[in-house]
């Protein structure tokens, strides 16, 4: 009998150790929450499974078609023939979905991709409650909410949680290689300063409302065409382009938005959409009341989804522009054009008919540079060390970069890349030092450009 207390103590110690081990395992497990999903990007985060991520995902949303479309996409991933996922969606629907999520604390990472009108508030409340947040762009769509976003980053720091946005374009291989070659001084030289008329960096993105995603025509929510909810083009897709300018021109360097950014000009214009075109992508028979403010001639919707920003970043002149058409011509799709002008060569991404609408990187010498071939021969080993299999071939005025098919993953796969990188940051317990100030700088650029465009008398004219 005298041994029983010792045995009991040993049992209790073992039990406590087991519980602590279990708690530690739980702490290391990433448990996803999806908040008010209204954009297909929310589902693309779950297109693949991840080690260390719980297969149970808690979804909080209001009643409506948005959440059902999201769940249908997840079900499609779960039931596909090749490499199916096995997510289990636990769904709460109700008007108090945000309060319910904050109270339940069913996970530790909140994924946000949807209606942008309240996104900054969602972010602010989530980080204040101690959640990590992975948010689709844009985190804010106007200057009024820019300060809220800044405050949210400060709160995240105080709460020791990570707030991060989904910058998929950093994982597009031609862009990655454009950045890599720009760091090869023998090939590129140094980045030009440029002028407003001839920027050192230009990035243009063309998108389409009618598109195929994961093999079917994408159904867009009607609010996607309402700039009060989705945001204008100048603060939406341009987020990616402004990010790439910072990421490529000043890699892993901190940008101070108060000192390093100077807006030169900005403009915005509309894309017109007929009611029948609207029906095709929304499955709705009429324009909702909130869109009628943008409807002319009773049947033509005008969407301010196009924008252009001209600005200086640390004295380097840059131009970014986004254009939305209704539908791409047959055999084409979204396109991207980008040029970085160096003192020795220009790095140009083209994606037109000559490239079969696939992004292709070219290296073209500036006038007077006769040593590009020798420079490429010298620099290629360093490029190949990071990107095995990449090569160059003579093409027109310069050289075309040959990219093996294994690197050409496509836009949808890039969401998994971003999520994986974010999980690495979660494991490390911190983001790189430059990420937060550069996110703040990015959203300062886009939101201030919108205010400037609205003030500019000529901005409302169509391109």
Average pLDDT over residues 389-402: 95
In degrees and rounded to multiples of 5, residue 228 shows phi and psi of -70, -20
The reported pLDDT for the residue numbered 360 is 97
Task: Compare 417 and 9 and report the one with higher pLDDT.
Answer: 417
pLDDT tops 80 at residue 131: yes
Going by pLDDT thresholds of 50, 70 and 90, the confidence category of residue 4 is very low
The reported pLDDT for the residue numbered 214 is 64
Residues in the chain: 463
Domain residue ranges in the chain: 1-25, 31-165, 169-409+431-460
- For residues 246 and 313, the answer to whether their CB atoms sit within 8 Å is yes
Average pLDDT of every residue of the chain: 92
Could you give the percent of the chain with pLDDT greater than 90? 84
Going by pLDDT thresholds of 50, 70 and 90, the confidence category of residue 458 is very low
Q: What is the pTM of this model?
A: 0.90
Could you give the percent of the chain with pLDDT greater than 70? 92
SS3 350: strand
Residue with tokens 């996409």, as numbered in its chain: 73
Give the pLDDT confidence of 239-293 residue by residue, as tens digits. 999 999 999 999 999 999 999 999 999 999 999 999 999 999 999 999 999 999 9
Going by pLDDT thresholds of 50, 70 and 90, the confidence category of residue 13 is very low
Give the pLDDT confidence of 194-243 residue by residue, as tens digits. 999 999 999 999 999 998 766 777 889 899 999 999 999 999 999 999 99
d(CA 406, CA 441): 34
Residue with tokens 């989904």, as numbered in its chain: 166
pLDDT tops 80 at residue 134: yes
- For residues 259 and 197, the answer to whether their CB atoms sit within 8 Å is no
Give the CATH superfamily of 169-409+431-460: Dihydrodipicolinate Reductase; domain 2 (3.30.360.10)
Beta-sheet strand order (sheet of 109-112): 88-93, 56-61, 32-35, 109-112, 132-135, 163-165
DSSP 384-452: HHHSTT-EEEEETTEEEEE--GGG---HHHHHHHHHHHHHHHHHHTS--TTHHHHHHHHHHHHHHHHHH
Task: State both tokens at 234.
Answer: 């100048």
Burial class (CB in 10 A: 0-12, 13-18, 19+), 143: middle
The reported pLDDT for the residue numbered 12 is 44
DSSP 115-157: -STTHHHHHHHHHHTT-EEEEPSPS-SSHHHHHHHHHHHHHHH
pLDDT tops 80 at residue 5: no
Going by pLDDT thresholds of 50, 70 and 90, the confidence category of residue 298 is confident
CATH class of the domain comprising 31-165: alpha beta
Give the pLDDT confidence of 174-193 residue by residue, as tens digits. 999 999 999 999 999 999 99
């Amino acid at each position: 009998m005298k041994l029983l207390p010792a045995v009991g103590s040993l049992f209790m110690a073992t039990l406590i150790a087991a519980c602590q081990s279990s708690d530690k395992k739980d702490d290391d497990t990433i448990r996803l929450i999806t908040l008010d999903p209204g954009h297909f990007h929310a589902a693309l985060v779950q297109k693949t499974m991840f080690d260390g991520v719980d297969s149970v995902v808690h979804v909080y949303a209001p009643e409506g078609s948005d959440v059902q479309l999201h769940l249908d996409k997840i079900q499609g991933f779960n039931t596909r023939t090749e490499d199916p996922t096995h997510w289990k969606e636990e769904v709460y629907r109700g008007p108090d979905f945000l309060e319910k999520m904050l109270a339940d604390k069913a996970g530790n990472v909140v994924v946000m991709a949807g209606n942008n009108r309240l996104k900054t508030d969602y972010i602010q409340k989530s980080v204040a409650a101690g959640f990590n947040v992975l948010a689709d762009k844009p985190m804010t769509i106007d200057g009024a909410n820019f300060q809220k976003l800044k405050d949210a980053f400060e709160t995240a720091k105080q709460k020791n949680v990570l707030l991060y946005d989904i910058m998929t374009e950093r994982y597009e291989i031609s862009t990655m290689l454009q950045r890599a070659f720009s760091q090869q001084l023998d090939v590129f030289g140094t980045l030009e300063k440029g002028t407003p008329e001839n920027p050192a960096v230009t990035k243009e993105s063309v998108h389409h409302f009618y598109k195929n995603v994961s093999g079917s025509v994408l159904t867009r929510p009607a609010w996607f065409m309402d700039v009060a909810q989705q945001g204008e083009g100048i603060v939406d897709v341009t987020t990616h382009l402004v990010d790439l300018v910072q990421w490529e021109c000043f890699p892993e360097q901190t940008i101070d938005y108060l000192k390093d950014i100077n807006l030169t000009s900005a403009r915005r214009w509309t894309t017109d959409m007929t009611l029948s075109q609207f029906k095709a992508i929304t499955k709705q028979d009429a324009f909702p009341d909130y869109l009628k403010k943008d409807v002319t001639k009773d049947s033509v919707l005008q969407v301010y989804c196009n924008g252009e920003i001209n600005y200086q970043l640390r004295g380097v002149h840059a131009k970014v522009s986004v254009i939305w058409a209704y539908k791409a011509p047959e055999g084409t799709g979204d396109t991207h054009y980008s040029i970085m002008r160096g003192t020795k060569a220009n790095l140009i991404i083209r994606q037109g008919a000559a490239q079969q609408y696939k992004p292709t990187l070219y290296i073209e010498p500036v006038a007077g540079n006769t040593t590009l071939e020798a420079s490429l021969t010298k620099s290629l080993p360093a490029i190949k060390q990071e990107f095995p299999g990449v090569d160059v071939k003579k093409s027109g005025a310069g050289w075309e970069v040959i990219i093996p098919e294994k690197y050409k993953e496509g836009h949808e796969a890039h969401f998994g890349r971003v999520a994986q990188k974010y999980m690495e940051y979660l494991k490390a317990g911190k983001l790189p030092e430059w990420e937060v100030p550069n996110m703040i700088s990015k959203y300062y650029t886009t939101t201030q450009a919108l205010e400037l465009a609205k003030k500019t008398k000529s901005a409302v004219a169509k391109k």
